[in-house]
Amino acid sequence: MIDFFNANQVLVQATLSGLVLALSIQVPLRMGVFSFAGAGSYGLGGYAAALLVIHLNLNALEAIGLTIVITAFVGLLLGLVISRLNGLYLAMATVAFDLIISVVAINGGTFTGESTGLYGVIVDFTTTTMFIMTVVAVLLVALSERGRTGRRTQAVRDDQQLAASAGVNVRRYRLMAFVVGGALGGLGGAMNVMVRTTIGPLDIGFGLVVLALTMIIVGGTMSWKGAVLGAIIFTWLPHFLDFIGQWQTLVYGVIVALAAIFLPRGIHGVIVDIIRWVQRRRRGTLDKPAPDPSGDPEPEQLLPPSGTSSISPSAPQQPIRGSVARSLLARGAKS
Amino acid sequence: MQELVSVISLGSIYLLFSLGMSLTWGTIDVLNFAHGSIFMFATFCAYLILGKTSLPFLAVVGIGVVVGAVLSLLVQVAAFEPILKRARNKRSAEMQILIGGIGIATIPLAIAQVQTKSNPFGLAASTFHVTVWHLGSARITNVAVFTIVVGLAIWGAISVWLRRSRQGLALRSIGVDSETASLMGINRRRLALGTMAVSGALAGLAGVMFTYTTSAITPESGDTLLIKAFAIIILGGVGSMAGVAFGAFALALVETLVLTYTSGSWVDAVAFGLIFLVLLARPAGVFGRKEVRRA
């Protein structure tokens, strides 16, 4: 096992930084914020970490910590400016943000090294540290998918008005998407530049958006598991499929297009569907009359009791699920 | 004076390119991310054919137009129609169309990159030669004249058609409320296919004209132009024909000014910065109406 990792260290590192990059775009998407700003934060984080190491001689942990603070703050500023946009407008504004980072990197003179980029970012940063940091980031993301935060983000994604009427501060959650996306992007970029020791304009830019989308669309958009699946598949696939060679981008493009058309929820979504189907069949044969708890309950049960109409810490928690929000919407539309 | 000529000719190319994108976005709700790839690949096909045989100018333009239209139809039939059929709601459809478009856009790009080894390619092999006319102190090429005349003519024709004809009315009604429109007996699928074909043809035309103007393009040219077209459409207002023309010439003007007075490659940042400014100051665009469709 150890030998295997040593032999494929570069690929392991690429998987880890790719995974964090994918998460930086997946987390906003999962919250219904159609933002690609994670790719820009990745570039910004890479340059920021490189500059911090070169000019201030910070060690790896200090540089990464400071980089995350910077990119999270930039994410917050970006969010304050554009979080009121929606859908495609938001998506394209964040693409513009990504491209502006590239243009600044190319035109930054000796500060950013122009088209050659920055070299000699040498710090004591091992793959083990990188692995631990990635696992911590993934754990935090996984935690945010559960419990109260998870239910609230789902509500914000599925129906903003409904979530707001249930007492969720929608604006704060949308801003959080930008901050978390910025922090994750910065972490990915910083870790990547520390193991590569160089960064240039060709390493950032629009290609990162395509790479991250490839990973999360094929892996699955709804859970961190999808990002992990996607990051592993797309870092290791070219390694095993040597014959793809120069046609790699073409193959990726075809895969992304096919996944967007036929599997919008990715491999993870398919696995979840299969597990649910098996569970439902098993339950169906055991006790037929029992109501299906995973199905949509009646809307009356879901609304908080009168008097505690908002979800405050003291109020009894009522589940807000995506399927619930959707069923409420559908019922509302029909009546 | 010379700057003015280049602003108008560059603006006409921008107009041709973004007209198709604005048309599909404003009416059938398709933000086609593969538009830039279609632009590039139509030119690339003309380049390949010119490598075998020498053709006159109009034949080259014809190849660009036909290849663009066919590619665009292919994208619509193979990708966007299945997505719209299967999508749960409008928002997820928008997102899937955008991501599917990004995926599809890399396919022609990868083919052209491998074939040309990412080198620029041009259309110099045709029997057509660029000649320069002197207009007072300014110089203008026959290509520029053709681009300006054809660009404005097509823009005018589409604007009038959208406003005056029954089919144009039908197309606009799809943009306002597609379900009610189909209840009124409008064949949504046929109009969508027609719109996509026209859009692709415009992309192909823009590609050939752009290549004749700059003498060569790289496979990646389409991507930059795509973001510029987005800036143009946002600036003018989605679906507004007057807005597209305004946006195209305004962007060409600002870019020319930036190119004249600054060094480096800051000119690419103009369009990206413009997207931000417009979305913040006036999200509906200069000529945009108040949005009634999106909640």
What's the one-letter identity of residue A97? Answer: F
A181-240 pLDDT per residue, tens: 999 999 999 999 988 888 888 788 777 888 888 888 888 888 888 889 889 888 887 777
The DSSP letter of residue A118 is B
In a domain, B199, yes or no: yes
Estimate the crossing angle of helix B221-236 against helix B2-28, to 10 degrees: 80
What pLDDT does A323 receive? Answer: 52
What pLDDT does A69 receive? Answer: 95
CA closest to B284 among chain A residues: A89
In a domain, B289, yes or no: no
Domain that holds residue B167: 2-219
| Residue B200 to residue B66: CA distance in whole angstroms | 8
What's the one-letter identity of residue A98? Answer: D
- Cβ(A209)–Cβ(A40) below 8 Å: no
- Burial class of B92 by CB neighbour count within 10 A (0 to 12, 13 to 18, 19+): middle
Q: Which residue has the higher pLDDT, A112 or A162?
A: A162
- What phi and psi values does residue A118 have, to the nearest 5 degrees? -110, 145
pLDDT band at A311 (very low <50, low <70, confident <90, very high): very low
CA closest to B33 among chain A residues: A92
> For every one of its 295 residues, what pLDDT tens digit does chain B have, with 9 covering 90 and above?
788 888 999 999 999 999 999 999 888 888 888 999 999 999 999 999 988 888 888 888 999 999 999 999 999 999 898 888 887 777 778 888 888 898 899 889 889 988 888 788 888 777 777 788 887 777 888 888 889 999 999 999 999 998 888 888 888 888 888 888 888 888 888 889 999 999 999 999 999 999 988 888 888 888 888 888 988 988 888 878 888 999 999 999 998 888 888 776 777 788 888 888 887 777 777 776 654 443 3
In a domain, B18, yes or no: yes
What pLDDT does A312 receive? Answer: 43
In a domain, B239, yes or no: no
B51 close contact with A: CB closer than 8 A: no
Least trusted range by pLDDT, from A142-151, A196-205, A300-309, B58-67: A300-309
Q: Are the beta carbons of A87 and B94 separated by less than 8 Å?
A: yes
SS3 content of chain B, % helix, strand, coil (to 5): 75, 5, 20
B106, B107, B114 member nearest A246 (Cβ) = B114
**Chain A nearest C-alpha distance from B31 (Å):** 8
A66-111 pLDDT per residue, tens: 999 999 999 999 998 887 777 778 888 888 888 888 888 888 777 8
What pLDDT does B36 receive? Answer: 92
Q: What is the mean pLDDT of chain A?
A: 80
Instruction: Say what the ipTM of the complex is.
Output: 0.81
Q: Are the beta carbons of B95 and A89 separated by less than 8 Å?
A: no
Q: Are the beta carbons of B265 and A106 separated by less than 8 Å?
A: yes
What pLDDT does A287 receive? Answer: 55
What's the one-letter identity of residue A247? Answer: W
**Chain B nearest C-alpha distance from A324 (Å):** 15
**Chain B nearest C-alpha distance from A93 (Å):** 6
Q: Are the beta carbons of B102 and A213 separated by less than 8 Å?
A: yes
With residue B132 as reference, give the H or E element that holds it: strand B132-135
**Chain B nearest C-alpha distance from A102 (Å):** 9
Q: Are the beta carbons of A99 and B86 separated by less than 8 Å?
A: no
Mutate to test the interface with B, among A99, A110, A208, A262 (most CBs of B within 10 A): A99
Of A191, A83, A67, A84, the C-alpha closest to A132 is A191
Number of domains in chain B: 1
In a domain, B100, yes or no: yes
Tokens representing A200 are 């240039």
In a domain, B235, yes or no: no
B266 close contact with A: CB closer than 8 A: yes
Q: Are the beta carbons of B100 and A260 separated by less than 8 Å?
A: yes
A85, A217, A261 member nearest B279 (Cβ) = A85
A85, A103, A209 member nearest B269 (Cβ) = A103
B218 close contact with A: CB closer than 8 A: no
pLDDT band at A301 (very low <50, low <70, confident <90, very high): very low
| Neighbour tally for B259: CB within 10 Å | 16
What pLDDT does A283 receive? Answer: 82
In a domain, B251, yes or no: no
Q: How far is CA B243 from CA A9, B4, B24, B177, in A?
A: 53, 20, 15, 21
CA closest to B226 among chain A residues: A92
Q: How far is CA A69 from CA A34, A62, A72, A185, A221, in A?
A: 22, 11, 5, 11, 26
Confirm whether pTM is higher than 0.90: no
In a domain, B168, yes or no: yes
Q: How many CB pairs under 8 A join A and B?
A: 121
What pLDDT does B289 receive? Answer: 60
pLDDT band at A114 (very low <50, low <70, confident <90, very high): confident
What pLDDT does A219 receive? Answer: 87
**Chain A nearest C-alpha distance from B285 (Å):** 12
CB interface of A with B, residues 248-287, below 8 Å: 249-250, 252-262, 264
What's the one-letter identity of residue B37? Answer: S
Per CB-CB distance under 8 Å, the chain A contacts of B294 are 86-87
Q: Are the beta carbons of A93 and B268 separated by less than 8 Å?
A: no
Gyration radius from chain A CA atoms? 22
Tokens representing A118 are 């920055």
Q: Are the beta carbons of B227 and A264 separated by less than 8 Å?
A: no
Q: Which residues pair with B121 in a beta bridge?
A: B217
- Cβ(B64)–Cβ(A217) below 8 Å: no
Per CB-CB distance under 8 Å, the chain A contacts of B104 are 253, 257
Q: Which residues, other chains included, contact A15 with Cβ-Cβ below 8 Å and sequence gap of 6+?
A: A231, A232, A235, A236
What pLDDT does A285 receive? Answer: 66
Of B260, B199, B153, the C-alpha closest to B31 is B199
Half-sphere exposure in the Cβ direction for A133 (13 Å, CA): 25
A10 close contact with B: CB closer than 8 A: no
Q: Are the beta carbons of B103 and A260 separated by less than 8 Å?
A: yes
With residue B141 as reference, give the H or E element that holds it: strand B138-141
Q: Are the beta carbons of A255 and B98 separated by less than 8 Å?
A: no
Per CB-CB distance under 8 Å, the chain B contacts of A256 are 99-100, 102-103, 106
pLDDT higher than 80, residue A330: no
What pLDDT does A332 receive? Answer: 43
Task: Parse chain A into domains and list their residue ranges.
Answer: 11-205
Per CB-CB distance under 8 Å, the chain B contacts of A264 are 86-87, 92, 96
**Chain B nearest C-alpha distance from A326 (Å):** 11
A217, A247, A250 member nearest B99 (Cβ) = A217
| Residue A306 to residue A168: CA distance in whole angstroms | 17
- Cβ(A75)–Cβ(A81) below 8 Å: no
pLDDT band at A1 (very low <50, low <70, confident <90, very high): low
Hey, what long-range contacts does A112-118 have (CB within 8 A, 24 or more apart)? A112/A47, A113/A200, A114/A201, A115/A200, A115/A201, A116/A200, A117/A198, A117/A199, A117/A200, A117/A201, A117/A202, A117/A203, A118/A47, A118/A50, A118/A51, A118/A54, A118/A193, A118/A198, A118/A199, A118/A200
A81 close contact with B: CB closer than 8 A: yes
